[in-house]
């Protein structure tokens, strides 16, 4: 079984499809930046207060710094997951309507950031 042939597009339509695809890529990269910011901020909070506790400081408050850090890291990972689901759906509909499209570099970068975020989450959960 062969894949259906891509429709022949005029220049204006091809450029519009390219702009749309690049807009999807930019949106995904914005979510990757947001997820990375949440993950790195959460991990920084975790390491800072982990260092303070080792120096003898006591934890106070309703939400411990470690719990806050885990919450921030998890929020970043969930944001990446939801953005990836949306991005894949957008790219799938673009491919269905206009034929094959280049591979998404932002999706690959998002996966790499998610793996790093999982490492940070595991460290915050079981590291101290």
Burial class (CB in 10 A: 0-12, 13-18, 19+), 54: exposed
Supply the mean pLDDT for the chain: 89
24-67 pLDDT, tens per residue?
A: 999 999 999 999 999 999 999 988 887 877 777 666 677 788 88
Map tokens 């120096």 to a residue: 55
* Assigned domain for 9 exists: no
Query: How many of the other CB atoms lie within 10 Å of CB of 76?
Result: 27
* Assigned domain for 2 exists: no
CA angle 11, 99, 14 (to 5 degrees): 15
Give pLDDT, residue 127: 81
* Assigned domain for 3 exists: no
Domain that holds residue 113: 14-54+64-126
Q: How many domains does one find in the chain?
A: 1
Q: What is the CATH number of the domain that holds 110?
A: 1.20.58
What is the pTM for the complete model shown?
Answer: 0.84
Q: What is the C-alpha to C-alpha distance for residues 74 and 63, in angstroms, rounded to an integer?
A: 15
* Assigned domain for 4 exists: no
Tokens at residue 32, please? 């990757």
């Amino acid at each position: 079984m062969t894949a259906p042939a891509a429709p022949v597009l005029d220049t204006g339509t091809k450029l519009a499809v390219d702009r749309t695809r690049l807009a999807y890529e930019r949106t995904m990269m914005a979510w990757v930046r947001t997820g990375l910011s949440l993950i790195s901020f959460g991990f920084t909070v975790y390491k800072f207060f982990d260092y303070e506790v080792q120096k003898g400081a006591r934890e106070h408050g309703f939400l411990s710094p470690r719990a806050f850090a885990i919450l921030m890291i998890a929020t970043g990972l969930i944001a990446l997951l939801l953005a990836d689901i949306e991005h894949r759906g957008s790219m799938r509909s673009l491919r269905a309507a206009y034929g094959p499209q280049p591979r998404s570099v932002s999706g690959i970068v998002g996966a790499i950031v998610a793996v790093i975020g999982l490492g940070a989450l595991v460290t915050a959960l079981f590291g101290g």
